[in-house]
A and B are shown apart, each in its own frame.
Chain A
Amino acid sequence: GNSVTQMEGPVTLSEEAFLTINCTYTATGYPSLFWYVQYPGEGLQLLLKATKADDKGSNKGFEATYRKETTSFHLEKGSVQVSDSAVYFCALSDLDNQGGKLIFGQGTELSVKP
């Protein structure tokens, strides 16, 4: 079946450090890929998305490129801020399911220290 695997956390970085959170997926066909973020005390928010191979999603300085050859969708940011501290979830839309349910990775907690 379809699945998503994320690098385990927690990840602790200093402000202005470079961030990479790895995400790989297993799926039939070409699902849409997403990164959601959950800030403390808030709901999941869509951070960025990509719908086909080589698409690059970007938002708030974060980027991720849909890599079909490596079945990956790694999240990157060149210079993190304290306000980026949150839990990040990689997800795909299940093409085998007409209802569009999302399949998530286990989440990666990021803590950015000043």
Chain B
Amino acid sequence: EAGVTQFPSHSVIEKGQTVTLRCDPISGHDNLYWYRRVMGKEIKFLLHFVKESKQDESGMPNNRFLAERTGGTYSTLKVQPAELEDSGVYFCASSQGAGGSTAKNIQYFGAGTRLSVL
């Protein structure tokens, strides 16, 4: 079974440019999460999809970030325009259910996309 895959693994862009990150969750997982780790600090929640609907986007830093999950399969996270402080590692995770620690609610993570804004 394929795990969570993220593309690209690394992206280097200039300030002001646009970048789109992609996440393919594990097949059959309705729940998809985006997280970010900036400058070696804690991993912070960005948002949560249930199928194609945004369940919680309380962690999105500002309106330069746009996440979509059309059709409830893969998700994209677009940053437009990118700023220096957006640099970090963006993680995607998926799970069958949500909340707690039962087996079907465990979140499985991708390897992350390292974004460098110069």
Q: Which residues of A contact B (CB under 8 A)?
A: 4, 32, 34, 36, 41-46, 49-51, 89, 91, 93, 97-107
Decide yes or no: A107 and B37 within 8 Å by CB, A43-B111, A100-B105, A101-B48 being known contacts: yes
Are A101 and B56 in touch, CB under 8 angstroms? yes
Q: Which residues of B contact A (CB under 8 A)?
A: 3-4, 6, 31, 33, 35, 37, 40-45, 48, 50, 55-56, 59, 91, 93, 95, 97-101, 105-112
Decide yes or no: A99 and B56 within 8 Å by CB, A34-B101, A44-B109 being known contacts: yes
Are A99 and B101 in touch, CB under 8 angstroms? no
Whole-angstrom distance between the alpha carbons of A36 and B101 in the complex? 13
Are B41 and A97 in touch, CB under 8 angstroms? no
| Residue from B42, B98, B110 within 8 A of A106 (CB atoms) | B42
Are A101 and B45 in touch, CB under 8 angstroms? yes
Whole-angstrom distance between the alpha carbons of A57 and B50 in the complex? 28
Whole-angstrom distance between the alpha carbons of A89 and B88 in the complex? 16
Contact residues in B for A32 (Cβ distance below 8 Å): 100-101
Whole-angstrom distance between the alpha carbons of A45 and B108 in the complex? 7
**Which 8 interchain pairs have the tightest Cβ spacing?**
A100-B99, A44-B109, A32-B101, A100-B98, A104-B43, A43-B111, A106-B42, A99-B48
Whole-angstrom distance between the alpha carbons of A50 and B100 in the complex? 10
Decide yes or no: A42 and B111 within 8 Å by CB, A100-B31, A100-B105 being known contacts: yes
Are B109 and A45 in touch, CB under 8 angstroms? yes
Contact residues in A for B97 (Cβ distance below 8 Å): 100
**Additional A-B contacts beyond A32-B100, A99-B55 (14; CB < 8 A):** A43-B109, A43-B112, A44-B93, A45-B109, A46-B107, A93-B101, A98-B98, A99-B31, A100-B31, A100-B99, A102-B35, A105-B42, A106-B41, A107-B43
